Amino acid sequence: MRLPAFLRLSPRWAPYVFISPFLLLFAVFSLFPLCFSLYLAFQSWEPTGGLRAMEFVGMSNFTFAIKDGWFWMSLRNTLWLALASGVPQHLVAIPLAAFIHTSFMRLRDGVMAIYFLPYITSTVAIAIMFRSLFSQDYGMINAALAGLFGMAHTDWLTNAQHIKPAIAFIVFWRYVGFNTVLYLAAMQTIPGELYEAATLDGASRWKQFLHITLPSIKPMIFFGVTLSVIGGLQLFEEPFILTGGKGGPQQAAMTSAVYLFREAFDFNDFGGASAMSWLLFVVVALLTWITNLAFRPRKGRA
């Protein structure tokens, strides 16, 4: 069936039409919120008064955010959690990937799937499950610690000193499998001859790991660490759900992302929250740049 001329797509426009679904969604759900939050960062807005209640206030949201003690506290919480959950992820994932790479032949995919499972599970389900695991009097973690080591019950979620390690553990548990998959993929691309030659030269497995495996997966380490830095600084769901959206004891589990949300929706300050989110963006960009400096392949070396 031939279509009438006005319904036919000219080759000149076809690419734009085909790419338009993405552009439309991107504009509505990414570009517009981005611009709107930049606009809001310079406004004072009592949201329940409607859109007309906005008032231009210049830089005062930014000066407020910089003076606000809780903004810095939430940033410190975020950095603590990013380090405590991020560093072990890679320290465990790299040896684990090497172990799986060399030791499991047929079972490799199955073993990987098990490690990868937490990553594809809904965060909400994970947080709810850990909430009951970490329960002070009726949780399995305390029951196990008491049974194995005779430890007294720990108030994991209601004590400021304990809630951070608890959250860091959940984040670690969740992403270690993802990182292992990254490293395993990188290791599979290393040519086997390198190891054969090294073995002939009498290099031990440890030396091989140190001088062949690690340098070869360096680009992947850069990629993995960058993802961890960005993800760690945007940490939201786990602390939000574990503390019922309230930040936990002494606000110890209030990450910057949780604080932004609360500043807007609990404390009705959309202008301040927008200013903070742009400041957080600067921090994330800065730390990503530093990661880049540390891991970037240098010129003149392969």
CB closer to another protein out of 9 and 151: 9
CB closer to another protein out of 97 and 258: 258
CB closer to another protein out of 29 and 265: 265
**C-alpha distances in Å from residue 14, one per residue of 18, 19, 20, 26, 180:** 6, 9, 10, 19, 41
CB closer to another protein out of 13 and 104: 13
State the minimum distance, in angstroms, from the CB of residue 19 to another protein.
19
State the minimum distance, in angstroms, from the CB of residue 88 to another protein.
26
State the minimum distance, in angstroms, from the CB of residue 14 to another protein.
15
State the minimum distance, in angstroms, from the CB of residue 275 to another protein.
12
Question: Would you tell me which residues interact with another protein (CB under 8 A)?
Answer: 1, 3, 7, 44-51, 53, 64, 67-70, 132, 135-138, 155, 157-161, 244-247, 249-251, 262, 265-270, 272
In single-letter form, the type of residue at position 254 comes to: M
State the minimum distance, in angstroms, from the CB of residue 57 to another protein.
9
State the minimum distance, in angstroms, from the CB of residue 50 to another protein.
5
SS (H, E, C) the chain: CCCCHHHCCCCCCHHHHHHHHHHHHHHHHHHHHHHHHHHHCCEECCHHHCHHHCEECCCHHHHHHHHCHHHHHHHHHHHHHHHHHHHHHHHHHHHHHHHHHHHCCCCHHHHHHHHHHHHHCCHHHHHHHHHHHCCCCCCHHHHHHHHHHCCCCCCCCCCHHHHHHHHHHHHHHHHHHHHHHHHHHHHHCCCHHHHHHHHHCCCCHHHHHHHHHHHHCHHHHHHHHHHHHHHHHCCCHHHHHHCCCCCCHHHCCCCHHHHHHHHHHCCCCHHHHHHHHHHHHHHHHHHHHHHHHHHCCCCCCC
CB closer to another protein out of 136 and 216: 136
Cβ count within 10 A of residue 216: 16
State the minimum distance, in angstroms, from the CB of residue 201 to another protein.
58
Whether the CB-CB separation of 94 and 187 falls below 8 Å is answered with no
CB closer to another protein out of 7 and 293: 7
CB closer to another protein out of 102 and 251: 251
State the minimum distance, in angstroms, from the CB of residue 261 to another protein.
10
CB closer to another protein out of 90 and 164: 164
